[in-house]
């Protein structure tokens, strides 16, 4: 772990429409990340939330683009990519990361980045927000997206 999350006061953003886009791989863990994201969005009084499942993390950038085209204000992207024995891990991690950045910049809309890229399941669980975990990257990602929505709405 690289340290604790920043302390951010969550401000209301009740009129925001947010998509939580999740990989379907490692679904139990992804559902914990989704729960964390929902908790963060609820703290900002956001009720217009849609959870969208895609086959894998590689599909998250395109699903985010489609969500923005359909009028969502922000996306919280969650998933888990586990390191295996081949370079596939590196390519998927790079593709997902770059794709999410590209979509966010293209639409000038925030995407909270909650896609875990871990060496093993223990690392993933420690970051998943499940009972006993040290971090909740689903929650943290939602808060990041909310903060950027506030920044975007400032005139």
Question: Which active-site residues does the annotation give?
Answer: 88
Whether 73 is in a domain gets the answer yes
Whether 9 is in a domain gets the answer no
- pLDDT for the residue 134: 92
Query: How many structural domains comprise the chain?
Result: 1
Residue 5 DSSP code = P
Q: Name the one residue in this structure whose structure tokens are 């919280």.
A: 76
Number of residues in the chain:
155
Residues of the chain with pLDDT under 50: 1
Whether 107 is in a domain gets the answer yes
- pLDDT for the residue 29: 97
pLDDT digits (tens, 9 = 90+) for 78-106: 999 999 999 999 999 999 999 999 999 99
Whether 7 is in a domain gets the answer no
32: its two tokens = 């914990």
Look up the domain containing 101 and give its range. Answer: 17-153
Domain CATH code at residue 108: 3.40.50.960
Whether 1 is in a domain gets the answer no
Whether 94 is in a domain gets the answer yes
What lies within 8 Å, CB to CB, of 80 at 6+ separation is 23, 25, 26, 29, 30, 33, 57, 115, 116, 118, 124
- pLDDT for the residue 21: 99
Whether 82 is in a domain gets the answer yes
- pLDDT for the residue 12: 79
- pLDDT for the residue 1: 46
């Amino acid at each position: 772990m690289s340290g604790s999350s920043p302390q951010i006061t969550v401000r209301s953003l009740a009129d925001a429409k947010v998509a939580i886009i999740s990989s379907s791989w490692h679904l139990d863990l992804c559902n914990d990340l989704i729960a964390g994201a929902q908790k963060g969005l609820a703290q900002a009084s956001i009720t217009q939330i849609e959870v969208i499942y895609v086959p894998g993390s590689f599909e998250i950038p395109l699903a985010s683009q489609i969500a923005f085209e359909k009028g969502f204000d922000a996306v919280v992207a969650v998933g888990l990519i586990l390191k295996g024995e081949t370079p596939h891990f590196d390519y998927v991690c790079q593709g997902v990361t770059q794709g999410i950045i590209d979509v966010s910049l293209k639409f000038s809309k925030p995407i909270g980045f909650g896609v875990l890229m871990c060496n093993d399941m223990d690392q993933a669980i420690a970051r998943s927000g499940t009972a006993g975990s040290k971090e909740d990257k689903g929650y943290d990602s939602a808060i990041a997206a909310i903060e950027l929505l506030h920044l975007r709405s400032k005139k």
